[in-house]
Amino acid sequence: MPPPPSPSGRAAVLCGLGSWLPPRVVTNEELSRRLDTSDAWIRTRTGISRRHIAEPGQATSDLAVEAGRRALRSAGTDDVDAVVVATTTPDRSCPATAPLVASRLGLRGAAAFDISAVCTGFVYGLASAASLITAGVATRVLLIGADTYSTIVDPHDRTNAIIFGDGAGAVVLRGGRADEPGAVGHFDLGSDGTGEELIMVAAGGSRQRSTPGEADPQDRYFAMRGKEVFRHAVTRMTASAQATLTMADCKVEDIDRLVPHQANLRILRSVAEDLGLPPERLVTNVESVGNTGAASIPLALADAATRHTVQPGERMLLTAFGGGLTWGSCLLTWPALSRIDTPHNTGGTQAS
Ligand code: UT7
Q: What is the mean pLDDT of the chain?
A: 94
31 in contact with ligand 1, CB cutoff 6 A: no
Known catalytic membership, residue 291: yes
The number of the ligand 1 atom at minimal distance from the alpha carbon of 264 is: 11
229 in contact with ligand 1, CB cutoff 6 A: yes
- Give CA 8 to chain center in angstroms: 28
For 55, 58, 150, 166, the CA distances from 173, given in Å and listed in that order, are 30, 27, 29, 24
pLDDT, residue 215, reads 67
Nearest to 86 by CA among 54, 50, 128, 56: 128
Residue bearing the CA closest to ligand 1, atom 46: 37
pLDDT band per the 50, 70, 90 thresholds, residue 340: confident
Residue 318 has pLDDT above 60, yes or no: yes
Nearest to 27 by CA among 13, 44, 14, 39: 39
Q: pLDDT tens digits, residue range 170-210?
A: 999 999 999 999 999 999 999 999 999 999 999 989 998 76
Q: What is the DSSP letter of 183?
A: B
Q: pLDDT tens digits, residue range 319-337?
A: 999 999 999 999 999 999 9
Q: Are residues 237 and 170 in contact, defined by beta-carbon separation less than 8 angstroms?
A: no
Q: Which of 230, 267, 270 to mutate to test the pocket of ligand 1 (most atoms within 8 A of CB)?
A: 230
Nearest-angstrom CA–CA distance, 190 and 142:
23
pTM: 0.95
Separation of 288 CA from ligand 1 center, angstroms? 19
pLDDT, residue 343, reads 63
The rounded radius of gyration (Å) of the Cα atoms in the chain is 19
Q: Provide, rounded to the nearest whole percent, the portion of the chain with pLDDT above 90.
A: 88
Q: Are residues 96 and 88 in contact, defined by beta-carbon separation less than 8 angstroms?
A: no
158 in contact with ligand 1, CB cutoff 6 A: yes
Separation of 19 CA from ligand 1 center, angstroms? 28
Known catalytic membership, residue 28: no
Q: What is the DSSP letter of 310?
A: S
- Give CA 328 to chain center in angstroms: 11
Residue 1 has pLDDT above 90, yes or no: no
Nearest to 105 by CA among 88, 124, 126, 84: 84
In the beta sheet, which residues pair with residue 322?
A: 326
Separation of 159 CA from ligand 1 center, angstroms? 6
Q: pLDDT tens digits, residue range 3-21?
A: 887 877 899 999 999 999 9
Q: Residues 52, 261, 264, 330: which is the catalytic one?
A: 261
266 in contact with ligand 1, CB cutoff 6 A: no
Q: Residues 28, 119, 264, 330: which is the catalytic one?
A: 119
Domains of the chain: 1-352 (3.40.47.10)
Q: pLDDT tens digits, residue range 234-258?
A: 999 999 999 999 999 999 999 999 9
Known catalytic membership, residue 156: no
